[in-house]
Amino acid sequence: MVERHGAIYHAEYGWNEEFEALVADIAAKFLHRHDPKRERCWIAERNGKRLGSIMLVSQSRTVAKLRLLLLEPAARGQGLGRRLVETCIRHARRCGYRKIVLWTQSDLTAAREIYARTGFRLVRKARHRGFGHPLLGEYWERDLV
């Protein structure tokens, strides 16, 4: 997951190693603190080939956080991203979370469309510098009750 995020986001957006380091940190925290009853990581594959991934982690007892949605370029446009997000939503409901939050960037238009189509709403924007570029971070959330 870490390598694919780094390679794809560098190729498509020019993001530097800071992004890959962030992904590595998120993955490491998941592995070290993972609550198997309330948190999950899904890796979509077909015929042994990895197509995409997503994580759902606990932010608090009632709030889950969607992390690291990624689709391989060849797997895009087939509804897989939406299915991964919907899988997270179903799992979060089963675990009793009341809300899911996420952080993304304004230029990730395909991901933003998936979030909007699955019931997330944009709640805040904040300019920042990261991954070698000035960016506009977006905070989205979706109520589950």
Average pLDDT estimate for 55-59: 98
Average pLDDT estimate for 47-58: 97
Tokens 């994580």 — which residue?
Answer: 55
- pLDDT for position 11: 98
Q: What does the alpha-carbon distance between residue 71 and residue 1 come to, in Å, rounded to a whole number?
A: 10
Q: Name all domains of the chain by residue range, CATH numbers in brackets.
A: 2-143 (3.40.630.30)
- pLDDT for position 41: 97
The string of DSSP codes covering 48-114 is TEEEEEEEEEESSSSEEEEEEEEE-GGGTTSSHHHHHHHHHHHHHHHTT-SEEEEEEETT-HHHHHH
Q: What does the alpha-carbon distance between residue 66 and residue 121 come to, in Å, rounded to a whole number?
A: 13
Average pLDDT estimate for 43-57: 97
Q: Are the beta carbons of 136 and 105 closer than 8 angstroms?
A: yes
Question: pLDDT band at residue 56, thresholds of 50, 70 and 90?
Answer: very high
Average pLDDT estimate for 32-37: 95
User: What is the pTM (predicted TM-score) of this model?
Assistant: 0.96
DSSP 8-class letter at 131: T
Average pLDDT over the chain, rounded to an integer: 97
- pLDDT for position 31: 96
Average pLDDT estimate for 110-125: 98
Helix axes 17-33 and 2-13, enclosed angle (nearest 10) = 150
Question: pLDDT band at residue 75, thresholds of 50, 70 and 90?
Answer: very high
